[in-house]
């Protein structure tokens, strides 16, 4: 996999020891029918969950004709950011784009303590301020994580409007601490009634915003993935890093699922294929799912963690799900995320993953449970809007214009 910082078609990465440049990729920018081209800054890194929503926003902008003249992206410098950005050259082509690393990480990697964050923030604020000036950014969007602090402070000092995006049902530390500095906080789930707190829904990739598929389309999707189109499919998705508890469940109970008439597609997580079950007919294990939409189109049901992006994609695709929230998630926010999807999901704790879960998943996929699945699909359709990305861009554009 080619790192984004070294690919000729990917955005340049600026480290703190070098001065931020005006842009990493220069190309003509067409102006879309939706308004003048924007000069926007994002801040979010350290995990895929703090990067992927921003890439979804860029993809929506391209699909909707929202022209971006310049994209500045503040990040932490972790390797996961290069992995997520690998292959985004076509998505970012024609946009002057630069990734700027803010000097906050510990020497050996990992998030800094609050004390170290306070000590390192002033130098990072200077880096962020210089980059915002060089790029002439009109608005800053915070995607979460500790990297947000210096970028938000720098933007506030320059009079650049600050917008925060909270994709979890429980606001994270960045949203709680930096909310008073933002002119707007946007939420994937329910928000307060104040005009400064707006529920937009989650930013979805354009292919996810199409909604669900019917039974014949699902059968065709299974055939394209190499599965029997006539047999139901359960996808087990452990997230970008995989999930030990889900992998253990599959190893112990996949034979029971297959015997119950269900096929299983098991995403183990990168480097964790050794945690897969013994190969058998009707079961396939992969380390990573590059494009989740084809998998969700093919799936009759899903077993997954409760990450915000995963649940947003499940709700958008209208696939009934069993959700096993990560038990050590801060504030148990994955359980809260799952509760937002109402009757569209069944919440099951790691300790309860066993024979009952296998039998319940197999039963849900039967013809006799078609009405139950349809009720769950209807609940998912009502849970989250599909146009969250457009609503977010509407907010960003309005605030950028207000500064002009």
Ordered domains of the chain (ranges, CATH) = 12-203+387-403 (3.40.50.2000), 212-383 (3.40.50.2000)
What is the chain's length?
404
pTM: 0.86
List all residues 6 or more positions away from 370 whose beta carbon is below 8 Å from its beta carbon.
Answer: none
For residue 143, give the nearest of 12, 383, 308, 301 by alpha carbon: 308
Q: Torsions phi, psi of 322, nearest 5?
A: -100, 125
Percent of the chain at pLDDT > 70 equals 90
Residue 21 pLDDT greater than 50, yes or no: no
Position 143 scores a pLDDT of: 96
pLDDT band at residue 108 under the 50/70/90 scheme: low
E strands present in 261-353: 263-267, 283-286, 301-304, 321-323, 345-347
pLDDT band at residue 30 under the 50/70/90 scheme: very low
Pairing outcome for strands 96-101 and 68-75:
parallel
Position 46 scores a pLDDT of: 81
List all residues 6 or more positions away from 47 whose beta carbon is below 8 Å from its beta carbon.
Answer: 80, 145
pLDDT in tens, 64-93: 999 999 999 999 988 888 888 888 999 999
Residue 165 pLDDT greater than 50, yes or no: yes
User: Which three-class secondary structure state does DSSP give residue 217?
Assistant: helix
Position 181 scores a pLDDT of: 96
Position 239 scores a pLDDT of: 82
Under 8 Å between Cβ of 306 and 332: no
Longest alpha-carbon distance in the chain: 64
Position 339 scores a pLDDT of: 96
Q: What is the DSSP string of 145-163?
A: STTHHHHHHHHHHHT--EE
How far apart (Å, rounded) are the C-alpha atoms in residues 187 and 202?
7
pLDDT in tens, 330-372: 899 999 999 999 999 999 999 999 999 999 999 999 999 999 9
Position 397 scores a pLDDT of: 96
List all residues 6 or more positions away from 285 whose beta carbon is below 8 Å from its beta carbon.
Answer: 250, 266, 267, 268, 273, 276, 277, 279
E strands present in 162-319: 162-166, 184-187, 197-199, 233-237, 263-267, 283-286, 301-304
Position 19 scores a pLDDT of: 38
How far apart (Å, rounded) are the C-alpha atoms in residues 284 and 295?
12
Position 123 scores a pLDDT of: 95
Under 8 Å between Cβ of 137 and 72: yes
Mean pLDDT of 117-140: 95
């Amino acid at each position: 996999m080619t790192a984004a910082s070294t690919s000729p078609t990917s955005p340049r990465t600026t480290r703190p020891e070098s001065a931020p440049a005006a842009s990493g990729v220069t190309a003509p920018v067409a102006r879309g029918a939706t308004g003048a081209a924007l000069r926007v800054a994002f801040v979010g890194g350290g995990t895929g969950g703090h990067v992927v929503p921003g890439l979804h926003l860029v993809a929506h902008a391209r699909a909707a004709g929202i022209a971006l003249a310049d994209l500045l992206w503040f990040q932490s410098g972790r390797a996961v950011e290069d992995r997520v950005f690998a292959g985004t050259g076509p998505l970012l082509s024609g946009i002057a784009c630069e990734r700027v690393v803010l000097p906050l990480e510990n020497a050996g990697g990992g998030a800094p303590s609050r004390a170290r964050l306070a000590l390192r923030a002033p130098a990072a604020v200077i880096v962020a301020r210089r980059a915002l000036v060089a790029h002439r950014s009109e608005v800053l969007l915070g995607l979460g994580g500790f990297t947000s602090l210096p970028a938000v402070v720098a933007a506030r000092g320059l009079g650049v409007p600050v917008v925060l995006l909270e994709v979890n049902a429980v606001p994270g530390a960045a949203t709680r601490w930096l909310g008073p500095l933002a002119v707007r906080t946007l939420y994937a789930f329910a928000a307060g009634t104040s005009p400064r707190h707006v529920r937009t829904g989650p930013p979805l990739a354009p292919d996810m915003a199409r909604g669900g598929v019917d039974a014949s389309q699902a059968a065709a999707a299974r055939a394209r993935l190499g599965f029997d189109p006539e047999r139901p499919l359960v996808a087990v998705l452990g997230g970008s890093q995989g999930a030990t508890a889900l992998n253990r469940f599959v190893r112990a109970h996949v034979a029971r699922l297959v015997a119950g008439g269900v096929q299983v597609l098991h995403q183990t997580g990168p480097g964790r294929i050794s945690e897969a079950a013994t190969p058998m007919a009707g079961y396939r294990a992969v380390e990573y799912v590059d494009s989740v939409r084809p998998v969700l189109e093919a799936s009759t049901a899903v077993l997954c963690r409760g990450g915000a992006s995963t649940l947003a994609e499940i709700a958008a695709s209208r696939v009934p799900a069993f959700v096993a929230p990560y038990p050590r998630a801060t504030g148990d926010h994955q359980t809260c995320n799952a509760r937002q999807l109402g009757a569209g999901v069944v919440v099951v704790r790691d300790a309860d993953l066993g024979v009952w879960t296998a039998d319940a998943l197999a039963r849900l996929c039967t013809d006799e449970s078609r009405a139950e699945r349809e009720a769950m699909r209807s609940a998912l359709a009502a849970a989250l809007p599909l146009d969250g990305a457009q609503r977010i861009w509407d907010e960003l554009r309005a605030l950028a214009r207000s500064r002009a």
